[in-house]
């Protein structure tokens, strides 16, 4: 079975075979085309993971700011967990930091967080700021909270 066929029929076995070829320096046997594709995909996956945690964090900050009376311990735990997961992503893959400096990238996830906050709070989308109101320093600061009565 060729590497390309194995890649499509049994991904785990394909990865094991590719690892073995790399470990034994059998360069000619590598499925380079699919290896390149998988490596590119891994990078995109890391980026999406960071964005996903950022989106949930921003949504909960918005909910806390625009519906403080409904604030729950669950919201605070989610905010803390998202910040921890973002920190884990940045520690594991420091090159992801560049995305947190990219305003277009942050705004993409903020638009989604804004929409989700409107849906969850059942408030009109227009109630929430069009642009992200939180500088990245606030987003990542474990002591920052938009919830009234919380330490900020």
Q: Which residues contact 152 (CB under 8 A, 6 or more apart)?
A: 143, 144, 145, 146
Q: Dump the DSSP string for 2-28.
A: -HHHHHHH-HHHHHHHHHHHHHTT-GG
Query: Where residue 5 falls among pLDDT bands split at 50, 70, 90?
Result: confident
Q: Is the pLDDT of residue 151 over 50?
A: no
Q: Is the pLDDT of residue 4 over 50?
A: yes
DSSP tag of 58:
H
Share of the chain above pLDDT 70, in %: 93
Question: What global pTM score does this model have?
Answer: 0.82
In contact, 77 and 129? CB cutoff 8 Å: no
Q: Pull the structure tokens for residue 108.
A: 């993409």
CA 53: distance to chain centroid?
4
Which residues are CB-contacts of 3 (< 8 A; sequence separation ≥ 6)?
14, 17, 18, 29, 30, 31, 34
- Confirm if 121 and 55 have CB atoms less than 8 A apart: no
Quick one: pLDDT band at residue 152, thresholds 50, 70, 90? Answer: very low
What is the tens place of the pLDDT at every residue in 91-113?
999 999 999 999 999 999 999 99
- Higher pLDDT: 53 or 147? It is 53
Q: pLDDT, tens digit, for every residue of 37-70?
A: 999 999 899 999 999 999 999 999 999 999 988 8
């Amino acid at each position: 079975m060729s590497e390309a066929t194995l890649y499509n029929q049994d991904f785990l076995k394909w990865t094991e075979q590719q690892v073995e070829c790399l470990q034994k320096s059998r360069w000619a046997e590598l499925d380079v085309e699919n290896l390149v594709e998988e490596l590119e995909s891994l990078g995109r996956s890391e980026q999406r993971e960071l964005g996903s945690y950022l989106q949930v964090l921003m949504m909960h900050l918005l909910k806390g700011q625009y519906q403080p009376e409904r604030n729950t311990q669950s919201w605070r735990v989610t905010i803390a967990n998202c910040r921890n997961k973002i920190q884990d992503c940045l520690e594991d893959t420091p090159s992801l930091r560049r995305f947190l400096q990219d305003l277009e990238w942050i705004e993409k996830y903020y638009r989604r967080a804004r929409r989700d906050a409107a849906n969850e709070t059942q408030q009109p989308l227009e109630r929430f700021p069009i642009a992200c109101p939180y500088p990245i320093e606030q987003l990542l600061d474990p002591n920052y909270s938009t919830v009234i009565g919380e330490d900020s």
